[in-house]
Amino acid sequence: MSKTSYLFTSESVSEGHPDKVCDRISDSIVDIYLKADPQARVAVETLATTNKVVLAGEVRGPASITHDLLKETARQAIKDIGYEQDGFHWKNADIDCYVHQQSADIAVGVDAAGNKDEGAGDQGIMFGYACRETDQLMPAPIYFSHRILKLLSEARRSGKEKGLGPDAKSQVTLLYENGKPVRATSVVVSTQHAADLDQAQVREIVRPYVKEVLPNGWMCDEDSFYVNPTGRFVVGGPDGDAGLTGRKIIVDTYGGAAPHGGGAFSGKDPTKVDRSAAYAARYLAKNVVGANLAEKCTIQLSYAIGVSKPLSVYVNTHGTGNIDEQKLVKVLGELMDLSPRGIRTHLSLNKPIYARTAAYGHFGREPEADGGFSWERLDLVADLKAAFN
């Protein structure tokens, strides 16, 4: 095969996957703090196993948010996901909370003071990416993987598919020809199910949702359509496998089609550039592609703890751009203040909008009226076109 013809695979996991349960709990805690105080600081991790949840981390926020409230927030998140199973039940799970106050050393480096602007909450590198493979300007394999599981979740929640459980995974492999996806060569879906369903029955439950997601004529052949390959998936969720916040960072972003800086998003308030700068980089890359300045765009930002401005801004249009990339770096810096405060202000990130990001990807979603997924807006397109007209 030539360099422009290849197979590429991405995976997704559902809201009931053990790691995603933990992401959801951590982000629900971020939301209750930001709802009470938009300037709250939160860095909370969650561990989940058989009927056990452990919360840990550091916060700075209202004293009214007690350990009891944090535990109840976790319980309600589990209930909403749909866990009422013997091994993991929202009502019966034992929840421990070890959340404590933020270190003063971190606060001093991050907080604004005198002539010093608010600094980044940590050092690190963050990437954003966009491409023309889907209408959402996302890589097709990860977008299709998310959509399959989202449709199955909606069918489970509505009662249409009563035999499905909350825990599920998907994996889509696409054939690329001349650098563009043309069809699926394999699809894998593993979904938790009721004990009275066999593998063949689950396969037929899953099939129409996969066919609905893939473009017409893209479905793989029958031998490459794998549903619950081990044959049985009754015990799932944290009862089947322990979960932790932040272990699905490639699922959260671009499915491996673009670089990742290494930092997780969930459980972190938007002063943490692991989260907010990754959103900003996606926002800028999406607008570059949306403005037809390139077919693909990768943007990297880097930060140092306590320093307000990014240490570097890197743009790569992968040979698909029709503009000068150095000029593009300058224009992007003029259109958006990439300091932590500037990012949060531009994208209105100090809001309780994060629990909804915890499953089915942080990118490729529709901007919402209350500010959710604001980084998916295409409101810089006109300015970018004007700058390069």
Whether 3 has a binding-site annotation, put simply, is no
What's the number of domains the chain is made of? Answer: 3
248 is catalytic: yes
pLDDT at 342 exceeding the cut of 50 = yes
45 is catalytic: yes
**Same domain for 149 and 128?**
no
Per-residue pLDDT of 299-319, as tens digits, reads 999 999 888 899 999 999 999
Per-residue pLDDT of 277-288, as tens digits, reads 999 999 999 999
Domain range enclosing 84: 18-110
19 is catalytic: yes
- Determine which one of 15, 23, 45, 239 is catalytic: 45
In the predicted model, what is the mean pLDDT of residues 74-97?
97
Which residues pair with residue 97 across a beta bridge?
55
pLDDT at 1 exceeding the cut of 50 = no
Per-residue pLDDT of 212-250, as tens digits, reads 999 999 999 999 999 999 999 999 999 999 999 999 999
Query: Sign of the CA dihedral 22, 27, 28, 30?
Result: positive
* Per-residue pLDDT, 114: 52
Identity at 116, one-letter amino acid code: K
Whether 247 has a binding-site annotation, put simply, is yes
272 is catalytic: yes
Per-residue pLDDT of 134-177, as tens digits, reads 999 999 999 999 999 999 999 999 999 999 999 999 999 999 99
How buried is residue 17: exposed, middle or buried, by Cβ count under 10 Å (0-12/13-18/19+)? Answer: buried
Whether 248 has a binding-site annotation, put simply, is yes
Is residue 322 in a domain?
yes
Is residue 93 in a domain?
yes
Whether 37 has a binding-site annotation, put simply, is no
Is residue 193 in a domain?
yes
In the predicted model, what is the mean pLDDT of residues 315-331?
95
User: Which pLDDT band holds residue 118 (cuts at 50, 70, 90)?
Assistant: confident
What are the angstrom distances between the C-alpha of 347 and each of 35, 239, 340, 387?
17, 38, 11, 21
58 is catalytic: yes
Q: Report the predicted TM-score, pTM, of the whole model to 2 decimal places.
A: 0.95
Whether 272 has a binding-site annotation, put simply, is yes
**Same domain for 288 and 340?**
yes
Whether 222 has a binding-site annotation, put simply, is no
Is residue 303 in a domain?
yes
Whether 268 has a binding-site annotation, put simply, is yes
Instruction: Write a three-state SS string for the chain.
Output: CCCCCEEEEEEEECCCCHHHHHHHHHHHHHHHHHHHCCCCEEEEEEEEECCEEEEEEEEECCCCCCHHHHHHHHHHHHHHHCCEECCEECCCCEEEEEEEECCHHHHHHHCCECCECCCECCCEEEEEEEECCCCCCCCHHHHHHHHHHHHHHHHHHHCCCCCEEEEEEEEEEEEEECCEEEEEEEEEEEEEECCCCCHHHHHHHHHHHHHHHCCCCCCCCHHHEEECCCCCCCCCHHHHCCEECCCCHHHHCCCCCCCCCCCCCCCECCCCHHHHHHHHHHHHHHHHHHCCCCCEEEEEEEECECCCCCCEEEEECCCCCCCCHHHHHHHHHHHCCCCHHHHHHHHCCCCCCCHHHCCCCCCCCCCCCCCCCHHHCCCCHHHHHHHCC
Mean per-residue pLDDT over the chain, rounded: 95
Dihedral of CA atoms 138, 361, 61, 114 in degrees, nearest 10, equals -20
Q: How far apart are alpha carbons 58 and 147 in whole angstroms?
A: 34
In the predicted model, what is the mean pLDDT of residues 196-218?
97
Q: How far apart are alpha carbons 201 and 163 in whole angstroms?
A: 10
Per-residue pLDDT of 51-71, as tens digits, reads 999 999 999 999 999 999 999
- Determine which one of 15, 17, 77, 373 is catalytic: 17
For residues 130 and 285, is the Cβ–Cβ distance under 8 A? yes
**Same domain for 275 and 354?**
yes
**Same domain for 164 and 104?**
no
Is residue 264 in a domain?
no
- Determine which one of 80, 117, 241, 325 is catalytic: 241
**Same domain for 329 and 301?**
yes
Distance of CA 275 to the CA centre of its chain: 10
- Determine which one of 242, 309, 377, 383 is catalytic: 242
Q: Which CATH number fits the domain that encloses residue 180?
A: 3.30.300.10
**Same domain for 225 and 301?**
no
Q: How far apart are the first and last CA of the chain?
A: 38
**Same domain for 281 and 370?**
yes
pLDDT at 292 exceeding the cut of 80 = yes
Is residue 88 in a domain?
yes
pLDDT at 363 exceeding the cut of 90 = yes
Is residue 180 in a domain?
yes
* Per-residue pLDDT, 107: 56
User: Which pLDDT band holds residue 119 (cuts at 50, 70, 90)?
Assistant: confident
What are the angstrom distances between the C-alpha of 343 and each of 128, 285, 297, 338, 377?
14, 14, 19, 6, 14
**Same domain for 278 and 381?**
yes
- Determine which one of 71, 75, 147, 268 is catalytic: 268
Whether 17 has a binding-site annotation, put simply, is yes
* Per-residue pLDDT, 103: 74
Phi, psi of 211 (to 5 degrees): -65, -30
* Per-residue pLDDT, 389: 84
**Same domain for 128 and 143?**
no
150 is catalytic: no
**Same domain for 381 and 280?**
yes
- Determine which one of 19, 31, 133, 252 is catalytic: 19
Is residue 167 in a domain?
yes
Q: How far apart are alpha carbons 177 and 162 in whole angstroms?
A: 39
**Same domain for 159 and 128?**
no
Which of 98-107, 198-207, 325-334, 348-357 has the lowest average pLDDT? 98-107
122 is catalytic: no
**Same domain for 293 and 329?**
yes
